[in-house]
Structure 1
Amino acid sequence: MIIDAHGHLGSWPDFLIPEPTAAGMVELMDRVGIDMIGISHLLAVGPDAVAGNELALAAARDFPGRFGVWQVYNPHHRTPLVTEGVWGVKIHPDVHQCRLDDPRYEPVWELGLPVLSHGQTDSPWSDPSQFAEVARRHPEIPLLMGHSGLWPYGFARAARFSGEHPNLYLETCGSKATGRWIARLVELAGARKVVYGSDACFLDLRVGYGRVALAPLSDADRALVLGGNLARILELSS
């Protein structure tokens, strides 16, 4: 299976997203050969986590087996969370301006499910050092660092943190990522610690997939990054 860890549906106020729908996403996945994608709805990341989470769950019901749901948690609103029918929890410390290691995220860690968080080197809200601290506090929680820290000058540091914590994974999406950098992350952190994501429909799914598909990786390592690792984390059958 090829599983995209990091996707979205819906619109965002800062720029045009040409195809924000679930049907459009599935059509593109079929063209590229992506089996499943984990989604959070951009309405949930933005102003209304409750309504946005319902939209993501509805998309998963409409297209069985194609979408996994990352339910969004807004730490200021204490969004209700569920354990059934979802992959885990999505948090965005930078949008919500609440540090990843803030106690207001305790309901997320108490849930016990995998967590995908935006990560951004030198951000006051989501620097990779905060991921390392949360991974240390909660070693039972699989924690995916979105964008591997986002900025290339921080990739190696993010990989070092991942290598130090068995439950901390690097997720590949971002407009600054390259195939060579993805191969370098595998070299630094280990092939079992890197997870493919595209950030579609925020970014183009084809570009995100192509970076991994054409990266200078062995076939075995590429298979782990493109789905094997996430299937193991989520305990999905392949």
Structure 2
Amino acid sequence: MILDAHGHLGPWPDFLIPDPSAVGLVASMDRLGIDAIGISHLLAVGPCAEEGNRLAFAAAERHPGRFGVWQVYNPHQRNRLTRDGVWGVKIHPDVHECRLDDARYDPVWELGLPVLAHGQTDSPWSDPARFATVAGRHPGVPLLLGHAGLWPHGFARAAELVSGHPNVYLEICGSRMTGRWIARLAALLGADRVVYGSDACFLDLRVGFGRVALAPLDPAGRALIQGGNLARLLKGRLP
């Protein structure tokens, strides 16, 4: 099973997204052999978490088994969260301008579900060091460090910072990621702590999938990264 941990639907004002639709994303998944992708709606990441989450749930209902929902939590809007019918929670400290380790995110950790969070090296909001802080406070919460820190100069540091926190996983989507870096991160942290994501439809699904499909990994490591690790984290939340 190939599982993409990091996907989106909808438009975003700062970037051209040629096809932000669920239908287009499923068509790309079918061409590549991707079984399911975790989505958050970009409307939820941006101005309206409640309505964006509603749109994500509706897309998942129209395409059963293909989309897992990362419900977005906005600490300023304090929108409702659920344990049912979701993969977990998505947060974006940089868009929210709220530090990952800020108490305003406590409702997310208290839920106990897997969390996918934007991670960005040198950001005041989401530097990987903050992931280590949160992981120490909430060791039972699976935490995906989005983009593995985003910038190549921080990839190895991100792996080092979270190495002692087994509940943190590096999610490897991003336009600066390469197949060689995916293999290096697997060697530094262990292939069982690296999770494939593409950032589609924000980024091209073909490119994101190609990086991990062609990375210099052994078959067992590739299988873990492409879906085995995420399937283990979701603990029966897959169809």
TM (norm. structure 2) is 0.98
- What letter corresponds to residue 26 of structure 2 in structure 1? V
SS in 2 for 1:69: strand
User: How far 1:57 sits from its partner (Å)?
Assistant: 0.4
Distance (whole Å) between structure 2 residues aligned to residue 183 and residue 206 of structure 1: 19
SS in 1 for 2:57: helix
Partner of 2:216: 216
Partner of 1:35: 35
Partner of 1:24: 24
Partner of 1:202: 202
Contact 1:162–1:193 (8 Å) recurs in 2 = no
Partner of 1:136: 136
Counting aligned pairs with the same residue, the percent is 74
Partner of 1:193: 193
Distance (whole Å) between structure 1 residues aligned to residue 227 and residue 10 of structure 2: 24
Distance (whole Å) between structure 2 residues aligned to residue 110 and residue 94 of structure 1: 21
Partner of 2:169: 169
Partner of 2:57: 57
Partner of 2:154: 154
- What letter corresponds to residue 116 of structure 1 in structure 2? L
Distance (whole Å) between structure 2 residues aligned to residue 110 and residue 15 of structure 1: 33
Partner of 2:7: 7
Partner of 1:71: 71
SS in 1 for 2:163: helix
- What letter corresponds to residue 127 of structure 2 in structure 1? D
| Runs of 4+ residues deviating >3 angstroms | none
Distance (whole Å) between structure 1 residues aligned to residue 154 and residue 130 of structure 2: 13
Contact 1:8–1:40 (8 Å) recurs in 2 = yes
Distance (whole Å) between structure 2 residues aligned to residue 35 and residue 139 of structure 1: 29
Structure 2 unaligned spans of 5+: none
Distance (whole Å) between structure 1 residues aligned to residue 163 and residue 224 of structure 2: 16
Distance (whole Å) between structure 2 residues aligned to residue 215 and residue 153 of structure 1: 19
Distance (whole Å) between structure 2 residues aligned to residue 176 and residue 79 of structure 1: 32
Distance (whole Å) between structure 2 residues aligned to residue 176 and residue 131 of structure 1: 20
Per-residue CA distance 1:93-142 (angstroms, 9 max, x = gap): 00010000000000000111000000000000000000000000000000
SS in 2 for 1:164: coil
- What letter corresponds to residue 192 of structure 1 in structure 2? D
Distance (whole Å) between structure 2 residues aligned to residue 55 and residue 122 of structure 1: 32
Structure 1 unaligned spans of 5+: none
- What letter corresponds to residue 219 of structure 1 in structure 2? P
Distance (whole Å) between structure 1 residues aligned to residue 157 and residue 16 of structure 2: 33
Partner of 2:107: 107
Contact 1:174–1:198 (8 Å) recurs in 2 = yes
- What letter corresponds to residue 166 of structure 1 in structure 2? P
Distance (whole Å) between structure 1 residues aligned to residue 84 and residue 235 of structure 2: 14
Partner of 2:225: 225
User: How far 1:15 sits from its partner (Å)?
Assistant: 1.9
Distance (whole Å) between structure 1 residues aligned to residue 215 and residue 94 of structure 2: 29
Distance (whole Å) between structure 2 residues aligned to residue 34 and residue 225 of structure 1: 13
- What letter corresponds to residue 14 of structure 1 in structure 2? D
User: How far 1:225 sits from its partner (Å)?
Assistant: 0.1
Distance (whole Å) between structure 2 residues aligned to residue 154 and residue 93 of structure 1: 18
- What letter corresponds to residue 77 of structure 1 in structure 2? Q
Distance (whole Å) between structure 2 residues aligned to residue 166 and residue 79 of structure 1: 29
- What letter corresponds to residue 44 of structure 1 in structure 2? A
What's the Cα RMSD here?
Answer: 0.9
- Paired positions, count: 238
Per-residue CA distance 1:55-110 (angstroms, 9 max, x = gap): 00001100000000000000011111000000000000000100000000000001
- What letter corresponds to residue 195 of structure 2 in structure 1? V
User: How far 1:162 sits from its partner (Å)?
Assistant: 2.6
- What letter corresponds to residue 203 of structure 2 in structure 1? L
